[in-house]
Structure 1
Amino acid sequence: MSRTTTTSLRGLAAVATLSLTLSACGAGEQASGGNASADSSGAQAASVDEAKAQVEEWSKEITEWPEVTEIADPADLRGKTVTIVPLGDQIPVIHGVGVGEEQALEELGAKVNVCDGKFNPSEIAACLKTAGDRDVDYVITNFVDYDMVPAAIDDLTAKGTKVLVGSMHESKNAPKSDNLAFYDATERVALLYEAMATDAVAGQGQETHPLFLKLMDSSTTEVASERMITKFEELCPGCRSDSVEFTTANLDKLSSTVSAALVSNPDTNAIIVPVDTFVPPAIQGAKSANKMDQVEIYSSSSDLAGLQRVQDGTQASDLGTPVIFEGWKHVNALMQMASGEEVQPADVLVTRAFTPENVDDLQLDPKTYLTDDWFGTGYRDEFLAAWGAE
């Protein structure tokens, strides 16, 4: 019997009393015959073995990076001005992607500045207005949904500034314009979320009973959260799962939400947290429910604190995001746009699984986080060659 529990905390100022809405479905029910049950159990065991093999493969240093398609007539960005507007620069993974973008743009001879959106639509709009007032040539927004600040983006593109909406799918409300493009990372993010479900099954086996923390900051994370749960149900159809929803804006509610969910579902043995930044309140919730010794924490993005938790045993595993590489991918999308080519979506997962078995081999400090040392090198020359900038 598969069961999903959902607690909704959506909205920027959610203060309603927490409630758990239970729902049941027939997925995972088995026929009464012994052979059918044995077949189902065998299939589930095979899925666990497959998950373990996949995580083992992910745990290796990356030596083969996705191929970079050459741009036929690459634009010249020497002397051009580029403003980077992150959704919130205090999140390490978002900051790291921005650092990768700065490195790549500087290789191309561009002049770069960063304006932090601080998870606030008004701040993001102000950053975009400032870019327009300064007549910058290009703007990259990182993880900012177009529909969050449509007027500000439209005003900017109307002035002739080319805007790349980074790591977001195209909005149906966006006007068609040569000055606006979307680098759609929906599939890549969804694959990462699916990988977290795989990671948990590899660690907990056929008795996995996870609590999924569904990040609802954007349509991209909403879709990815659903894909994560669907993947888990495919790998472990006889397992139970529960979930809670949250946004970055109501992060102060996450600890109590997790605590309430664990109390209501005492058999939970894993918590799946989409990004390392959100692990501390999840841990606090587990401690409040007196479940910290019972649950394992699985997350992604591999910021420094996350790998330190894996090292000290507080976190079971961390699926790494090579943030510098992702920054170069964003600039590749900008180069495609600037060169008059169609911007290709991000539909390949590049990750490394950090576990107690390999994390001790790493230099864990803030400086190294903003390098390729934890993942492997070999992609930069490919990008530069594709951009005609060798």
Structure 2
Amino acid sequence: MSRPLFRSRPARALAASALAASLLGACGAGEKVAPVSAEATAAGAAGVQQAKESLAGWSKAPTWPKVTPIGKPVDLTGKKFTFVALGDQIPVIHAVGVGVTEALGAAGATVKICDGKFNPTAVADCLKAAGDEKVDGVISAFVDYQMAGPAFDALAAKGVKVIVGGVAPSGGRKADANLAFYDNTPRVSALHEAMSEAAIADGGTSTNVLWVRLMDSTTTTGASAQGIAKFKALCPSCGIAETEFTTANVDKLATSVSAALVSNPDTNAVIVPVDSFVPPVLQGILSAKFAGKVKVFSSSSDLAGLQRVKDGQQTTDLGTPVLFEGWKFANGMVQLLAGQEVEKGSDFVTRAFTKDNVGGLTLDAKTYLTDDWFGGGAYKQTFLSAWGVK
């Protein structure tokens, strides 16, 4: 696995440490890189300015996007739904389920959350249980269709409305009257690109980043690739290395991060795609004796993440308004029930949390499951009005 290498590492020393890193799934070692050109330096300066402007804009509370009205409103009163989470123990995924429950509940329905435990068998069991319970609809979150294709199809064959949410279509499956995809991969990719911008805005053209890639699904795999491409485009003169992991092997993450840092001693920034995985990354940083040498950038704005920002352990957290995301998933189900095309989730809504704006926030578990950190929930009435709910 060949990756670009930082530009001050002697080739001989890299070769030895690269072998150790590759054994642990870390990438980033390779051949000596040619000196940076004047063109790359100039491009990097422009990219840094762009990144700083983006971060400044994201530091404010977001403006909620418009919602497409439903042509033929659907009565959801008394209907039953199941929300199947890829892994409910991840705060951001659980909170999206809370948002779905709140949204459909406001329209008169009930929602049960089922934990897929990052396991295809558990996901399939959730889908089968929903069918056995004769629910009206199922919304999955971040589960690739091809992970449980037969179980998804069995539900649709029974007439259950199914939204395969948070992922792009896969396995050759096309949308039909009973099954559709709520594809929010454009939003997820934009969030990963924003993390690269946050790192460059902070470190400038001297940024040497370790990108920690989450490979759980086609969504996370593709989004991290987009984030890396954005980093390279904005700052060709910067250094970049990568390491990969999945939630199933998160116990090895600290070791792989440590190995990647040792292999790339000029690292001064680490990008972690989701707040939940920052703790093992911090362990890896300590193990490699890089504490105080690198800054950490992440996203999803869970409670622990914002507390780390406040305490100075994390530089930036690109926030995910989790309840709003849940309403977007629910909107996909309403569109499917109404016989309309389920729109992509292409609206990029975030807030950049830094030490400059996190101090005035109430940081507790209760507030996390509200819209307080994002300026309030005015979007909710917009959705209800679009659905024709009085």
Partner residue in 2 for 1:12:
none
**1:84–1:115 CA contact under 8 A, matched in 2:** yes
The DSSP-based 3-state class of the residue aligned with 1:89 is: coil
Answer yes or no: is 1:215 the counterpart of 2:214. yes
Counterpart check, 1:52 vs 2:52: yes
Number of aligned positions between the proteins: 372
Instruction: Measure the CA separation in 2 of the matches of 1:166 and 1:40.
Output: 39
- Is 1:22–2:32 an aligned residue pair? no
State the alpha-carbon separation in 2 of the partners of residues 17 and 355 from structure 1.
Answer: 32
Q: Using the alignment, how far apart are the partners of 1:381 and 1:110 within structure 2?
A: 16
TM-score (norm 1): 0.92
Change beyond 3 A, Cα 1:94–1:176: closer
1:241 Cα deviation (Å)?
A: 0.3
Superposed displacement of residue 47, structure 1:
1.8
* Runs of 4+ residues over 6 Å off in structure 1: 25-28
Aligned to 1:34: none
TM-score by length of 2: 0.92
CA shift for structure 1 position 155? 1.0
Residues 125/25 of structure 1: CA separation in 2 closer, same or farther (3 Å cut)? farther
Q: Displacement of 1:172 after TM fit?
A: 3.8
Q: For residues 250 and 60 of structure 1, what CA distance do their matches in structure 2 show?
A: 36
Check if 1:3 corresponds to 2:10: no
Q: Using a 3 Å threshold, how does the CA distance of structure 1 residues 18 and 93 change in structure 2: closer, same or farther?
A: closer
Residues 17/97 of structure 1: CA separation in 2 closer, same or farther (3 Å cut): closer
CA RMSD of aligned residues (A): 1.8
2:120 paired residue number: 121
TM-aligned CA distance change 1:108 to 1:51, over 3 Å: same
Residue in structure 1 matched with residue 388 of structure 2 by the alignment: 388
Alignment of 1:262-281 (within 5 A): 262-281=261-280
Question: How many Å apart are 1:177 and its aligned residue?
Answer: 3.1
User: Following TM superposition, by how much is the alpha carbon of 1:29 offset from its aligned partner in structure 2, in angstroms?
Assistant: 5.1
1:18 to partner: Cα distance:
4.8
1:76 Cα deviation after fit: 1.2
CA offsets 1:214-248 (integer angstroms, 9 cap, x no match): 11101111111111011001111011100001101
Mapping 1:362-373, distance limit 5 Å: 362-373=361-372
Equivalence for 2:248: 249
Residue matched to 1:144: 143
1:115 positional shift: 1.1
- Deviation at residue 176 of structure 1 after TM alignment: 4.9
**Distance apart, 1:171 and its partner CA:** 1.6
> Which residues of 2 match residues 346-385 of structure 1 at below 5 A?
346-377=345-376, 378-385=378-385
| Structure 2 Cα separation of the partners of residues 271 and 155 of structure 1 | 43
Q: Is the 8 A contact 2:28 2:264 kept in 1?
A: no
In the alignment, the residues of structure 1 paired with residue 328 and residue 344 of structure 2 have an alpha-carbon distance, to the nearest angstrom, of: 10
Q: CA deviation at 1:173?
A: 2.7
Aligned pair in 2 of structure 1 residues 25, 383: CA closer, same or farther (>3 Å)?
farther
Which residue number corresponds to residue 240 of structure 1? 239
Checking the alignment, whether the CA contact within 8 Å between 1:138 and 1:162 is kept in structure 2 is: yes
Question: SS in structure 1 opposite 2:29?
Answer: strand
Deviations 1:276-316 (A, max 9, x none): 00000000000000001100000000000000000000000
- Is the CA contact (8 Å cut-off) linking 2:27 and 2:241 kept in structure 1? no
Q: Which residue of 1 aligns with 2:154?
A: 155
Deviation of residue 162 (structure 1)? Answer: 0.8
Q: Is the 8 A contact 1:27 1:237 kept in 2?
A: no
Shift in Å at residue 386 of structure 1?
0.3
Instruction: Determine the C-alpha separation between the residues in 1 that align with 2:251 and 2:94.
Output: 21
Distance (whole Å) between structure 1 residues aligned to residue 5 and residue 265 of structure 2: 14
Aligned-partner SS, 1:245: strand
Alpha-carbon offset, residue 350 of structure 1: 0.4
CA 1:139–1:56: 2 relative to 1, 3 Å: same
Distance 1:133 1:360, change over 3 A: same
Amino acid at match of 1:380: K
- Alignment partners' CA distance in 1, 2:26 and 2:48: 33
Among all aligned residue pairs of Structure 1 and Structure 2, give the percentage whose two residues are the same amino acid: 54
| Distance (Å, rounded) in 1 between the aligned partners of 2:154 and 2:135 | 13
AA matched with 1:342:
E
Structure 1 residues 28 and 385: CA distance shift in structure 2, 3 A = farther
Secondary structure, counterpart of 2:140 in structure 1:
strand
Matches of 2:222 and 2:27, distance apart in 1: 21
1:190 paired with 2:186, answer no
SS for the counterpart of 1:357 is: helix
User: Structure 2 CA distance, aligned partners of 1:28 and 1:186?
Assistant: 36
Q: Deviation at 1:25?
A: 9.8
Whether contact under 8 Å (1:212, 1:243) holds in the other structure is yes
Q: Which residue identity does 2:281 align to in structure 1?
A: A
Secondary structure of the structure 2 residue equivalent to 1:3: coil
Q: Which amino acid aligns with 1:195?
A: A
- Tell me the amino acid that sits aligned with residue 58 of structure 1: W
Q: Secondary structure at the match of 1:114?
A: strand
Long gaps (5+) in structure 1: 6-14, 31-36
- Matched residue SS, 1:53: helix
Answer yes or no: is the 8 Å Cα contact 1:87–1:141 preserved in 2.
yes
Contact 1:181 1:343 in 2 (8 A): yes
Secondary structure class of the residue paired with 1:90: coil
Cross-structure match for 1:132 = 131
- Which residue number in structure 2 is paired with residue 314 of structure 1? 313
**Secondary structure at 1:55's aligned position in 2?**
helix
Separation (CA, whole Å) in 1 of partners of 2:389 and 2:32: 56
- Which residue does 2:61 correspond to in 1? 61
What is the CA–CA distance in structure 1 between the aligned matches of 2:186 and 2:131, rounded to whole Å? 31
**Distance in 1 of aligned mates of 2:385 and 2:241:** 47
Cα 1:20–1:70 shift into 2, 3 Å: closer
Question: Which secondary structure does the structure 2 equivalent of 1:165 belong to?
Answer: strand
- For 1:241 and 1:231, the matched residues in 2 are separated by 11
- Amino acid of the residue matched to residue 297 of structure 1? V
